[in-house]
Structure 1
Amino acid sequence: MSYEVVLQNKFYLRELVESISLKDSLDQISYQGTIGLKLPASFPGIEPGQEIRISGVPYDSAGSGIAAGGKMVPLLHPGVVWDCSSTLKQTKHMTVTVYDRTIYLAKSEDEYLFPAGGTAAQRLRKYAADWGIPLDTVPDTKTKLKKAVYRPQTLYNMMMSDLKETVKAGGDMYVPRMTPAGLTLFKIGSNNVVWKLEQLEEATQNRTLEGTVTRVKVIGAEDRGDNAPSKVLAVASGETAQYGVLQRIVQDENVKTAGAAKKYAESMLTGQGQSYTVTCLDLNTIRAGDKVNFNGLNLIVTSVSHELGDPGHMTLELATLDDVKRRYYLDH
């Protein structure tokens, strides 16, 4: 088997593993693994909170599906055991759910007050320092943010608010990602190796006008009383001739100038929505946020489910870069 599970950095469980799956999505911070084990009576046991990692042999960048040199790399590390469920019949079977350590940012709440002028990257360093999470190299997100007053909520929600404000102000899209070296921000679609999806088992394309926006009106956030209409900062129109007028009115306290409002309005325009679901042979290093090539199109992975094996299989949800921006960064 081209995969290894290591518990507490000393118990190598490869011979006990019956199945491993990994799940990642743009709307969840933590990479999730589910491990099926067949345990002998002599095994000392697995408990929530223990350290665990999942490693595997990656496939070569030529996309041939041939293991590259046979050397294992961490796929989910550092990880923590979160749930254990066991069944005892003639032998003991256990299902273990693990997450990378960003789960603590998703499950922990706090309050923060940030002055204006900082960036999402600087705030990420503050969250990580306060919660004892090591950092990998964090890119400069550049966009300076407005003052933020975060009342009790999860740290993940705060991080995403910072990243969404970055995009609304014209910055790049980032997603938090845990690496073996620590927490970082991954720029959507910036992966060095862009896999071409072939050897398909099934592919589905969905096209819809649900969510289509052909006109956007941005209004001011100030209260003008009951008898005065809202101040219109900008209006942008798109494919109204083809799809009709499907108007959205948006209001964001961080968008205050006509120029910023115009840019925001134009970024919200979208034609028909397109998404793809692809099932194919597994490429075990693909994560949500990666760019892949499917049917000649460069698309972004919005979610991926790996069923690890030799060979393994994976199911991906794919969308265009513009749809990712609208669905995950602007439409909230």
Structure 2
Amino acid sequence: MIDTAKINYDLVAITPQGQTLHLNEVLRNLTWEENPGELAVRLEAELQNQQLPSGRWLHQQLPLGGQVFLYADWGADRQEIFRGTVFNWHYRTDPLGHFTITAYDPLIYLAKSKDDRYYSSGTLARVIIEDIAKAWQIPLGTVEGPDIGLAKQVFRGRTLADMIFDVLDQAKKRGAGKWIVRSKQGKIDIVRPGQNSPVYHFGADDSVAQVEDQQDIEDLVTRVKIVGAEDKEGRAPVVATLDGRTEFGVLQDLVYKEQYDNLAAAKAAAQDILAERGQPRKKRRITAPDLPFLRRGDKVHIAAGTLIGYYLVAGVVHNANDRTMSLEVEDVG
């Protein structure tokens, strides 16, 4: 395991004049995070405001739209951890003046932009995502797939991030497996999760400070009935029943056939409900020493509390102040 005491963090800003500012000496707090269901990494830094030798104040050199970079060195040479754009700026006094900036990596533009887009039947999922990235001038990095053709795609008024999530979901249902879209050094990567090497171990005796493991069936659905059209007396027949994990008892939802083109489409909708809500919910987190390079989609090994085995990182919050990170993990597969 890496000695976190030897990790060096370096937060850098590019001023409007094109100069490089190293911000560690005025840095009060620094975190960055990747969350489930989000494309972009979010970085938040709290900085002590001060006047620079040029006469300008620091806050003037970090405007909205400014560029920031985070580097780290853990004994494997200095590497870029984050690059992004300032989207939020908040100044306050206590009584000394300080301000907080919030920056996102380039994929934030896909999350905050809507568009209409069309792709013909048979277009590869990878090609759709590449086309969206190119339209928003995001360079392509490591693109490994998914190389599977999809049905005709018609998107109307959707965010580009939602389009990408839909494409990945459809590709998975067609047998392409799971894929991760993330940004690295300003480029978009499309990779399979769990391909990182080495796979780091987190154990109760050496690195894990806290374990949280919560499971519930509060929102579970174990049976979906498909209901047909009512007769003259108002009775509606059950035309199909799909069962899931009924060992938990019958927790039932309904699909109405008349809302779909045919029975096959109604069954597909019922199957989607079971796929989305047919398993117990699991919320599992650990707190451990920071590995600044660890990303959403990476594989880790945990042996602490009730978490024993290999897991994928579903979300991560890095804290440079106390050199810790909080990992939300999910099962591999």
- TM-score normalised over the length of structure 2: 0.79
Counterpart position of 1:160: 165
8 Å CA contact retained: 1:18, 1:38: yes
Distance, in Å, in 1 between the alignment partners of 2:145 and 2:30 is 35
8 Å CA contact retained: 2:214, 2:284: yes
Counterpart position of 1:46: 62
Q: CA deviation at 1:257?
A: 9.0
Q: How has the CA–CA distance of structure 1 residues 16 and 169 changed in structure 2, closer, same or farther, with 3 Å as cutoff?
A: same
Counterpart position of 1:20: 30
Counterpart position of 2:291: 283
| Letter in structure 1 aligned against 2:66 | Q
Distance, in Å, in 1 between the alignment partners of 2:201 and 2:271 is 33
Counterpart position of 1:301: 313
Distance, in Å, in 2 between the alignment partners of 1:230 and 1:245 is 16
| Letter in structure 2 aligned against 1:287 | R
Asked whether 1:144 is paired with 2:149, we answer: yes
Counterpart position of 1:320: 331
Distance, in Å, in 2 between the alignment partners of 1:169 and 1:195 is 31
Counterpart position of 2:4: none
Counterpart position of 1:176: 181
Q: CA deviation at 1:24?
A: 0.7
SS in 2 for 1:162: helix
SS in 1 for 2:218: coil
Counterpart position of 1:129: 134
Asked whether 1:37 is paired with 2:47, we answer: yes
Aligned pairs for 1:1-332 (under 5 A) are 2-8=8-14, 10-42=20-52, 43=58, 44-57=60-73, 67-69=74-76, 71-77=77-83, 79-88=84-93, 91-180=96-185, 182-198=187-203, 199-215=207-223, 232=240, 235=242, 237-238=244-245, 240=246, 242-247=247-252, 270-295=278-303, 296-309=308-321, 312-321=323-332
| Letter in structure 2 aligned against 1:45 | Q
SS in 2 for 1:87: strand
8 Å CA contact retained: 1:41, 1:92: no
Q: CA deviation at 1:170?
A: 2.3
SS in 1 for 2:293: coil
Q: CA deviation at 1:194?
A: 2.0
Q: CA deviation at 1:83?
A: 0.9
Give the aligned CA root-mean-square deviation in angstroms.
Answer: 3.2
Q: Deviation per CA, 1:192-247, whole angstroms, max 9, x where unpaired? A: 33221232221121122234444467x69xxx865586865x84544x3x322334
8 Å CA contact retained: 1:173, 1:188: yes
SS in 2 for 1:285: coil
| Letter in structure 2 aligned against 1:162 | V
Q: CA deviation at 1:297?
A: 1.6
Q: CA deviation at 1:267?
A: 5.4
8 Å CA contact retained: 2:221, 2:273: no
Distance, in Å, in 1 between the alignment partners of 2:274 and 2:176 is 14
Comparing 83-92 with 4-13, greater Cα deviation is found at 83-92
8 Å CA contact retained: 2:222, 2:250: yes
Unpaired runs of at least 5, structure 1: 58-66, 323-332
SS in 2 for 1:200: coil
Comparing 166-175 with 24-33, greater Cα deviation is found at 166-175
SS in 1 for 2:143: coil
| Letter in structure 1 aligned against 2:12 | V
Distance, in Å, in 2 between the alignment partners of 1:122 and 1:92 is 48
| Letter in structure 1 aligned against 2:45 | I
Unpaired runs of at least 5, structure 2: 1-6, 53-57
Q: CA deviation at 1:119?
A: 2.1
Distance, in Å, in 2 between the alignment partners of 1:259 and 1:173 is 23
| Letter in structure 2 aligned against 1:312 | R
8 Å CA contact retained: 1:169, 1:260: no
Distance, in Å, in 1 between the alignment partners of 2:175 and 2:221 is 19
Comparing 23-32 with 312-321, greater Cα deviation is found at 312-321
Q: How many residues were matched structurally? A: 303
Comparing 156-165 with 181-190, greater Cα deviation is found at 181-190
Counterpart position of 2:3: none
- TM-score normalised over the length of structure 1: 0.79
